Amino acid sequence: MSSTTTSLRLILGNAAPPAAPAGEMKTVTATTAEEVASSRSNMGVASLDELEITVASSDIGASGLYGPMELASWSSLLKPTSTVSIRIVGDAAESALKTVHTSFLLAGLASKSERREQDSVRVLKAAKKSISNASAAPLQTKKPRGPAVTISLDDALGDDDGLIDEDGLLTDENNLLAPPPAMSASSKADDCAGRKPCDDCTCGRAEREGTSTAKDKAPKQAPSSSCGKCGMGDAFRCASCPYLGKPAFKAGEEHLVLNLDDDL
């Protein structure tokens, strides 16, 4: 077969050929899979404008002359604008129609139409899928690079880097934990913090200033009550007893004070 053939009518098995004249179409009849393969061997790539296959419905299937992969063997011979027509002779079962549509899908074809003719002939038509330019992605070109940016380590590690010097926070001016100046100065001399000596002064300031009021003053007289039951405890004391809340004591021990402070 010449490689200049642009249209081919292929009749598979014993299917009745179409009644319409072939015209410029080349007609080939093949009854075996080997004859079908031979009809493709002498054809050039992308040499077919139109392919028409006539097959009986009984020959469609995985074990028949027309299987799901039949058109995939012809796809390289089709031009981008080629059309494919499958003529099914006889009552086409649902499985036969499904096999034809599957062959369209595996060959990269898109179904276009389906019609019925006389004498129980069904024609399914497909064409190659058009590739839209909109789906093409533009090539990304490299942009020219500008001059390289250099960073000096002297600039990065300079004194004026915007950071606070930790050593500067330890000066007396920034020491927030230090006591006020007046209190700090007075506390260095005594424990009274600038006040008058305490009554129970233990730092020695009262002795230095000669204001030891505890030694100069006469001991106070212990308060007494007219009921005479102060030393027996709160259960026997009157409402105005000066010893309410204090433990019981013996006569003459009113001035003693029990130290209940912790030793630790």
50 known member of a binding site: no
Q: Which amino acid is at 36?
A: V
Instruction: List the structure tokens of 229.
Output: 């039951």
Our count of domains for the chain comes to 1
pLDDT at 242 (0 to 100): 81
What's the rounded Cα separation, in Å, for the pair 23 and 7?
10
**Structural domain contains residue 238:** no
**Structural domain contains residue 157:** no
155 known member of a binding site: no
Q: Are 245 and 234 in contact (CB under 8 A)?
A: yes
**Structural domain contains residue 67:** yes
Angle at 153 between CA 149 and CA 158, to 5 degrees: 120
Q: Which amino acid is at 126?
A: A
Q: Are 45 and 4 in contact (CB under 8 A)?
A: no
pLDDT at 98 (0 to 100): 93
pLDDT at 54 (0 to 100): 93
168 known member of a binding site: no
Place of tokens 């064409």: 127
Q: How far is CA 53 from CA 48, 240, 260, in A?
A: 13, 131, 119
158 known member of a binding site: no
What's the rounded Cα separation, in Å, for the pair 3 and 82?
16
**Structural domain contains residue 52:** yes
* Residue 111 belongs to domain spanning: 7-129
203 known member of a binding site: yes
Q: How far is CA 40 from CA 107, 136, 246, in A?
A: 15, 32, 127
Place of tokens 């409402």: 239
**Structural domain contains residue 186:** no
**Structural domain contains residue 200:** no
Radius of gyration of the chain (CA): 59
**Structural domain contains residue 34:** yes
Q: Are 86 and 119 in contact (CB under 8 A)?
A: no
Q: Would you call 148 exposed, middle or buried from its count of C-beta atoms within 10 A (0-12, 13-18, 19+)?
A: exposed
pLDDT at 1 (0 to 100): 42
162 known member of a binding site: no
**Structural domain contains residue 122:** yes
- The domain that holds 32 is classified in CATH as 3.40.50.150
Q: Are 233 and 247 in contact (CB under 8 A)?
A: yes
What is the pTM (predicted TM-score) of this model? 0.48
- Tell me the pLDDT of the chain (264 aa) as tens digits: 444 558 899 999 888 888 777 677 889 999 998 999 998 888 888 888 899 999 999 899 888 889 999 999 998 999 988 999 999 998 878 889 999 999 999 999 999 999 988 778 999 999 988 765 555 666 777 777 777 777 766 655 555 566 777 777 777 666 666 666 655 555 555 566 566 777 777 777 777 777 544 445 555 566 666 677 888 888 888 888 888 888 888 877 776 655 656 666
- Chain-centre distance for alpha carbon 83: 49
106-119: b or e for each residue (b if 16 or more CB lie within 10 Å)? ebebeeeeeeeeee
